[in-house]
Protein backbone atom coordinates (compact mmCIF):
# COMPACT_ATOMS: atom_id res chain seq x y z
CA UNK A 1 0.00 0.00 0.00
CA UNK A 2 1.41 3.42 -0.90
CA UNK A 3 1.19 6.22 1.65
CA UNK A 4 -2.29 7.60 1.90
CA UNK A 5 -2.83 10.69 -0.20
CA UNK A 6 -4.23 13.81 1.47
CA UNK A 7 -7.99 13.94 1.16
CA UNK A 8 -9.82 16.62 -0.78
CA UNK A 9 -11.64 19.46 0.89
CA UNK A 10 -15.04 19.69 -0.66
CA UNK A 11 -16.76 23.05 -0.70
CA UNK A 12 -19.78 24.44 -2.48
CA UNK A 13 -17.78 26.86 -4.66
CA UNK A 14 -15.83 25.14 -7.40
CA UNK A 15 -12.96 27.61 -7.81
CA UNK A 16 -12.20 27.99 -4.10
CA UNK A 17 -12.51 24.23 -3.62
CA UNK A 18 -9.81 24.11 -6.27
CA UNK A 19 -7.54 26.57 -4.46
CA UNK A 20 -8.13 24.45 -1.33
CA UNK A 21 -6.18 21.62 -2.96
CA UNK A 22 -3.18 23.38 -1.38
CA UNK A 23 -3.91 24.00 2.28
CA UNK A 24 -2.01 25.45 5.23
CA UNK A 25 -0.31 27.82 2.79
CA UNK A 26 1.14 29.89 5.66
CA UNK A 27 2.10 26.91 7.79
CA UNK A 28 3.21 23.48 6.62
CA UNK A 29 1.56 23.38 3.19
CA UNK A 30 -0.39 20.23 2.29
CA UNK A 31 -0.50 19.48 -1.44
CA UNK A 32 -3.70 17.57 -2.14
CA UNK A 33 -3.11 17.12 -5.86
CA UNK A 34 0.51 15.95 -5.89
CA UNK A 35 0.22 14.04 -9.18
CA UNK A 36 -1.67 14.35 -12.49
CA UNK A 37 -3.74 11.30 -11.49
CA UNK A 38 -4.76 13.03 -8.29
CA UNK A 39 -5.83 16.07 -10.31
CA UNK A 40 -8.00 13.77 -12.43
CA UNK A 41 -9.50 12.32 -9.24
CA UNK A 42 -10.26 15.81 -7.97
CA UNK A 43 -11.87 16.82 -11.26
CA UNK A 44 -14.04 13.68 -11.23
CA UNK A 45 -15.19 14.31 -7.66
CA UNK A 46 -16.12 17.85 -8.67
CA UNK A 47 -18.22 16.94 -11.68
CA UNK A 48 -15.49 17.50 -14.27
CA UNK A 49 -14.45 13.99 -15.30
CA UNK A 50 -11.78 13.76 -18.00
CA UNK A 51 -9.71 10.81 -19.13
CA UNK A 52 -6.06 11.83 -18.96
CA UNK A 53 -3.69 14.60 -17.94
CA UNK A 54 -0.31 15.45 -19.43
CA UNK A 55 2.53 17.02 -17.45
CA UNK A 56 1.93 20.31 -19.25
CA UNK A 57 -1.76 20.27 -18.40
CA UNK A 58 -0.90 19.49 -14.80
CA UNK A 59 1.40 22.53 -14.73
CA UNK A 60 -1.33 24.71 -16.21
CA UNK A 61 -3.77 23.44 -13.58
CA UNK A 62 -1.50 24.39 -10.74
CA UNK A 63 -0.77 27.77 -12.34
CA UNK A 64 -4.49 28.40 -12.57
CA UNK A 65 -4.94 27.38 -8.95
CA UNK A 66 -2.31 29.87 -7.78
CA UNK A 67 -3.70 32.58 -10.06
CA UNK A 68 -7.17 32.16 -8.58
CA UNK A 69 -5.70 32.17 -5.09
CA UNK A 70 -3.75 35.38 -5.81
CA UNK A 71 -6.72 37.13 -7.39
CA UNK A 72 -9.14 36.04 -4.66
CA UNK A 73 -6.70 37.11 -1.93
CA UNK A 74 -6.36 40.53 -3.60
CA UNK A 75 -10.14 40.83 -3.84
CA UNK A 76 -10.61 39.87 -0.20
CA UNK A 77 -8.00 42.43 0.84
CA UNK A 78 -9.33 45.23 -1.39
CA UNK A 79 -6.14 45.26 -3.42
CA UNK A 80 -5.94 45.61 -7.21
CA UNK A 81 -6.07 42.30 -9.06
CA UNK A 82 -2.59 41.04 -9.99
CA UNK A 83 -2.26 41.35 -13.81
CA UNK A 84 -0.41 38.03 -14.19
CA UNK A 85 -3.14 36.18 -12.31
CA UNK A 86 -5.81 37.84 -14.44
CA UNK A 87 -3.93 36.81 -17.59
CA UNK A 88 -3.66 33.21 -16.44
CA UNK A 89 -7.37 33.00 -15.59
CA UNK A 90 -8.30 34.50 -18.95
CA UNK A 91 -5.95 32.17 -20.82
CA UNK A 92 -7.73 29.21 -19.27
CA UNK A 93 -11.25 30.40 -20.09
CA UNK A 94 -10.39 31.33 -23.65
CA UNK A 95 -8.48 28.14 -24.46
CA UNK A 96 -11.12 25.66 -23.35
CA UNK A 97 -14.42 24.79 -24.92
CA UNK A 98 -16.50 23.20 -22.20
CA UNK A 99 -20.15 22.65 -23.09
CA UNK A 100 -22.80 22.68 -20.40
CA UNK A 101 -25.54 20.16 -21.09
CA UNK A 102 -28.89 19.76 -19.40
CA UNK A 103 -29.74 16.29 -18.15
CA UNK A 104 -33.26 14.86 -18.27
CA UNK A 105 -33.48 15.07 -14.49
CA UNK A 106 -32.75 18.79 -14.62
CA UNK A 107 -29.08 18.93 -13.70
CA UNK A 108 -26.19 20.56 -15.52
CA UNK A 109 -23.36 18.40 -16.65
CA UNK A 110 -20.22 19.40 -18.50
CA UNK A 111 -19.19 17.91 -21.80
CA UNK A 112 -15.41 18.06 -21.71
CA UNK A 113 -12.74 17.05 -24.16
CA UNK A 114 -9.88 17.11 -21.72
CA UNK A 115 -8.16 18.95 -18.88
CA UNK A 116 -8.11 22.21 -20.89
CA UNK A 117 -11.91 22.23 -20.90
CA UNK A 118 -12.14 21.35 -17.22
CA UNK A 119 -9.77 24.20 -16.32
CA UNK A 120 -11.92 26.57 -18.38
CA UNK A 121 -14.93 25.67 -16.21
CA UNK A 122 -12.94 26.35 -13.04
CA UNK A 123 -11.56 29.64 -14.39
CA UNK A 124 -15.05 30.78 -15.41
CA UNK A 125 -16.30 29.95 -11.93
CA UNK A 126 -13.50 32.09 -10.50
CA UNK A 127 -14.54 35.01 -12.72
CA UNK A 128 -18.06 34.64 -11.35
CA UNK A 129 -16.92 35.17 -7.76
CA UNK A 130 -14.17 37.71 -8.49
CA UNK A 131 -16.48 40.04 -10.36
CA UNK A 132 -19.14 39.99 -7.68
CA UNK A 133 -21.60 38.49 -10.17
CA UNK A 134 -22.52 35.94 -7.57
CA UNK A 135 -24.07 36.66 -4.18
CA UNK A 136 -21.31 36.52 -1.59
CA UNK A 137 -18.11 38.06 -0.32
CA UNK A 138 -14.48 37.07 -0.80
CA UNK A 139 -12.79 36.59 2.54
CA UNK A 140 -9.60 35.16 4.02
CA UNK A 141 -9.58 32.39 6.57
CA UNK A 142 -8.83 33.69 10.06
CA UNK A 143 -6.43 30.83 10.78
CA UNK A 144 -2.90 32.32 10.62
CA UNK A 145 -1.43 29.16 9.11
CA UNK A 146 -4.15 28.93 6.47
CA UNK A 147 -5.31 32.33 5.19
CA UNK A 148 -7.17 30.57 2.38
CA UNK A 149 -9.42 32.75 0.27
CA UNK A 150 -13.01 31.56 0.47
CA UNK A 151 -16.35 32.80 -0.79
CA UNK A 152 -18.66 33.65 2.06
CA UNK A 153 -22.31 33.10 1.18
CA UNK A 154 -23.57 33.15 4.77
CA UNK A 155 -26.51 35.44 5.37
CA UNK A 156 -24.54 37.68 7.74
CA UNK A 157 -21.37 37.56 5.57
CA UNK A 158 -19.41 37.00 8.75
CA UNK A 159 -17.86 33.61 8.19
CA UNK A 160 -14.34 33.53 9.60
CA UNK A 161 -12.91 30.20 8.52
CA UNK A 162 -12.51 28.52 5.17
CA UNK A 163 -13.96 25.40 6.79
CA UNK A 164 -15.58 25.06 10.18
CA UNK A 165 -14.60 21.45 10.73
CA UNK A 166 -10.91 22.02 10.04
CA UNK A 167 -9.63 25.57 10.61
CA UNK A 168 -12.64 26.61 12.72
CA UNK A 169 -12.40 23.71 15.12
CA UNK A 170 -8.64 23.92 15.37
CA UNK A 171 -8.81 27.59 16.31
CA UNK A 172 -11.53 26.93 18.83
CA UNK A 173 -9.51 24.14 20.39
CA UNK A 174 -6.36 26.30 20.52
CA UNK A 175 -8.27 29.08 22.21
CA UNK A 176 -9.81 26.65 24.65
CA UNK A 177 -6.41 25.25 25.62
CA UNK A 178 -4.93 28.75 25.95
CA UNK A 179 -7.79 29.73 28.23
CA UNK A 180 -7.32 26.62 30.30
CA UNK A 181 -3.63 27.32 30.70
CA UNK A 182 -4.33 30.88 31.75
CA UNK A 183 -7.01 30.10 34.29
CA UNK A 184 -6.04 26.57 35.23
CA UNK A 185 -9.71 25.71 34.84
CA UNK A 186 -12.09 24.60 32.13
CA UNK A 187 -13.17 27.95 30.79
CA UNK A 188 -15.49 27.65 27.80
CA UNK A 189 -13.91 28.25 24.41
CA UNK A 190 -15.96 31.35 23.75
CA UNK A 191 -17.87 32.25 20.63
CA UNK A 192 -17.32 30.62 17.29
ZN1 LIG B 1 -8.65 27.91 6.73
Q: Where are the domains of the chain?
A: 14-138
Region 153-165: mean pLDDT is 91
CA–centroid distance, residue 52 to ligand 1 (Å): 30
pLDDT over threshold 60, residue 190: no
54-64: b (≥16 Cβ within 10 Å) or e: eeebbebbebb
Residue 192 confidence class, pLDDT cut points 50, 70, 90: very low
CA–centroid distance, residue 100 to ligand 1 (Å): 31
CA–centroid distance, residue 108 to ligand 1 (Å): 29
Separation between Cα atoms, residue 1 and residue 50, nearest integer Å: 26
pLDDT at residue 66, as a whole number: 98
pTM of structure: 0.88
Q: Which residues surround ligand 1, an ion (CB under 5 A)?
A: 141, 143, 146, 148, 162, 167
Residue 179 confidence class, pLDDT cut points 50, 70, 90: confident
Task: Write out pLDDT tens, residues 109-134.
Answer: 999 999 999 999 999 999 999 999 99
Closest CA to 22 of 56, 84, 70, 54: 70
Closest CA to 40 of 31, 52, 56: 52
Percent of the chain with pLDDT over 70: 94
Amino acid sequence: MPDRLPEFRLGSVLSTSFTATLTERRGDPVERIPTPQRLLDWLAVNGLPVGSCTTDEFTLARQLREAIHAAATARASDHPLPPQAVRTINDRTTQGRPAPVLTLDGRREWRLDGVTDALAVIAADAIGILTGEREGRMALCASPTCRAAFFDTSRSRSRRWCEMNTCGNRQKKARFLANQRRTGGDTPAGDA
